Amino acid sequence: MSAKSLAPILAGVMLALACWELASRHFSGLAVAAPLATMTALGDLLSRPEFLLDHLAVTLQRTLAGLALGLFLGIFCGGLAGAFPILRPLFAPFRWALMSVPGVVVVMLGMLWLGMGTRMVAGIVALMTTPIIYVSVVEGLIAVDRQLLEMARVYRLTLTMRLVEIYGRALAGSLLAGATVALGGAMRVAVLAEALGANEGLGAALAVARTNLDTPQLYALALLSMGAAGLVELLMLAPTRKKLWRHHR
């Protein structure tokens, strides 16, 4: 990233910090923690090995496991609906229900179905991310150029070449965008599920901080959850996006 493109980002961060500082001075410390107090609490959390193992690592593991399952189910069901349009009305009620129901309702039902802990959190993340990936896959398949398919049939391209060069190119952009949205949603749902039905994870730590009225730690955990999602996107999705861009060029 060049200095020219980095400057607006730094300006936005500084503006956000300034607004945060003004809000902390205007409102009570129980409502808005000061940036310095939040950063101090964040440093304290990151310096504790038990927190990293019992909370941060657990949340990342659950989120990635649920996201992987959601990707698989979304790609599988989306591929079926794209290949056989008659299945789209069949899947529509499930897609609509999962995309419109509030996350807290899904968490409550998940606690009844799957109990408390990792299986519940990962299952809920998978349920909430599957329809996002499903829509991305279906829209990408609908956008496939029919003339390219006709050319592939005329020139008798192999199935592998059709999947990679035609369907893969058509799906790459929409699927990557869907995965980016699903990642942010997965982290939010995972933290919510942990806050309501788990003893480990960032959500569980958030629930304890809220009970103790520890506002700086509450804000620090919120920043940490956002940073964890950003780190996963930076390490996994950003390189894929760059490689895809070079491939298209």
pTM of the model: 0.84
What does the pLDDT read at residue 68? 93
pLDDT above 60 (res 248): no
Q: Which one-letter amino acid corresponds to residue 29?
A: G
What does the pLDDT read at residue 42? 93
166 to 60, 135, 140, 141: CA distances (angstroms): 34, 19, 11, 10
Average pLDDT, the chain: 85
pLDDT of 13-47, one tens digit each?
Answer: 899 889 988 998 888 888 889 999 999 999 999 99
Q: Which residue has the higher pLDDT, 230 or 131?
A: 131
CA–CA separation, 97 and 163 (whole Å):
31
What does the pLDDT read at residue 60? 92
pLDDT above 80 (res 143): no
pLDDT above 90 (res 129): yes
What does the pLDDT read at residue 47? 93
pLDDT above 60 (res 79): yes
Give the rounded percent of residues in the chain with a pLDDT score beyond 70: 89
Non-local CB neighbours of 42 within 8 Å, separated by 6+ positions:
220, 223, 224
pLDDT band of 153, cuts 50, 70, 90: confident
pLDDT of 85-108, one tens digit each?
Answer: 899 999 999 999 888 888 888 888
Contact (Cβ atoms closer than 8 angstroms) between residue 75 and residue 141: no
What does the pLDDT read at residue 181? 86
